[in-house]
Amino acid sequence: MSKSNTVNEFKSDSIHYNENIKKCKFADESCFIERFNYVFRTRKNGDPELNLVKLEPLDISKISIKQPGAVVNIDLEFINSKLHGLSEAVLIQAKGPYLDPTKPVEFRAKGDLVALIGDYKIEGRVLFLPIVGGGSSNMTISREHVKIRKLAADIKIGQLYIKFENLFNGNKELSDNMNLFLNENWREIWSEVKRPTLAAYEIIFQTLIQNTLDKIPYNELFDE
C-alpha cells in the first residue's frame, strides 16, 4: 500500500536571534519548553528575526492525500487552506541534541482543537461507498496529543469532525448523508488516513520548529 501527501513549506532568510527572548542554560528542558510556549503565545503573527511564519492561522497552499486502501480508497486534496488553533498548542516535553547530545529530536505537544478550513477535491470510496466532490471543507481534530521523534509524528485524538460541501455535484441529500456517514464512522476513517495526515504534521513541524533551530547559531540559543 502506498500513500503520498504534500504540504507547502515556508522559509525566511533572517537568522538573527531575538534579544527579547531569554536564553536557557544548556540541557534545561523546563526553560526550553517555557521559552518555546512563550514564543508560540506571543508570535502568532510570525517573527522574521526568529525565521517564524504567521501561526494563526497558518496558511497551507496544498495537502494531497492518496490512500489506495481496501477500506478507504481516496484521492483527496486540500487547497488554499488555513490551519486554525496551532498557536494554542502547548509543548509539554522536549528532547534533542540541543538539550542532550545523546538524544534524538523528540517533542510532545497537546492542544484542544485544530481545524483545517479551505477548499477540497475528493474522489474514491470510503467504507465501500463512492465519494466525489469539490468545494469548501472543514476538518477539525479535537483533544490531540502529538509526539514528534526524529521528524516522524504520532498523534492521539479525541474526535475527528469532517464537513465536505458540494459533494456529488451539489446533491444536498446525498451530500448531507455522506457527511453524516463520515462523522458517524470517523474512527475507522481516521485509522486509514492517519499516516498521511501525520506526514503533514511532520512537514509543519520541520517548517515551524526545525528551520528556526537550524538557523539560530547555537551560542545565541543557549547560555553556556
Helices (H), 71-185: 172-184
User: Cell numbers 517573527 correspond to what residue?
Assistant: 47
User: Quick check: is 3 in a domain?
Assistant: no
User: Quick check: is 46 in a domain?
Assistant: yes
User: Quick check: is 14 in a domain?
Assistant: no
Q: How many domains does the chain have?
A: 1
User: What is the per-residue pLDDT across 25-56, written as a single tens digit (0 to 9) for each?
Assistant: 877 888 888 988 888 888 889 888 777 888 89
Q: Would the pLDDT of 11 be above 80? A: no
Q: The domain that contains 197 carries what CATH number? A: 3.15.10.30
User: Quick check: is 17 in a domain?
Assistant: no
pLDDT given at position 97: 65
Query: pTM of this prediction?
Result: 0.81
User: What is the per-residue pLDDT across 56-92, written as a single tens digit (0 to 9) for each?
Assistant: 999 988 888 888 887 899 999 999 999 999 888 898 9
The three grid cell numbers given for residue 223, joined into one nine-digit string: 547560555
User: Quick check: is 31 in a domain?
Assistant: yes
Query: Of 20 and 146, which is predicted with more confidence?
Result: 146
Mean pLDDT is highest, among 125-129, 135-139, 146-150, 209-213, for 135-139
Q: How far apart are CA 62 and CA 81, in angstroms?
A: 7
Q: How far apart are CA 221 and CA 175, in angstroms?
A: 51
The model's confidence at residue 224, banded by pLDDT at 50, 70 and 90, is low
User: Quick check: is 18 in a domain?
Assistant: no
The domain of 135 spans 24-223
The three grid cell numbers given for residue 163, joined into one nine-digit string: 464537513
Q: Are residues 35 and 21 in contact, defined by beta-carbon separation less than 8 angstroms?
A: yes
User: What is the per-residue pLDDT across 148-199, written as a single tens digit (0 to 9) for each?
Assistant: 776 667 888 999 999 999 999 999 999 999 999 999 999 999 998 888 888 7
The model's confidence at residue 141, banded by pLDDT at 50, 70 and 90, is very high
Write the CA distances from 28 to 24, 103, 107, 150, integer angstroms. Answer: 6, 14, 14, 20
The model's confidence at residue 1, banded by pLDDT at 50, 70 and 90, is very low
CA dihedral (177, 189, 7, 95) in degrees, to 10, reads: 140
User: What is the per-residue pLDDT across 97-124, written as a single tens digit (0 to 9) for each?
Assistant: 666 666 777 788 888 889 999 999 999 9
User: Quick check: is 75 in a domain?
Assistant: yes
Q: Would the pLDDT of 205 be above 90? A: no
User: Quick check: is 172 in a domain?
Assistant: yes
Question: Chain centroid to CA 122: how far?
Answer: 20
Mean pLDDT is highest, among 18-22, 118-122, 220-224, for 118-122
Average pLDDT over residues 119-140: 95
pLDDT given at position 2: 42
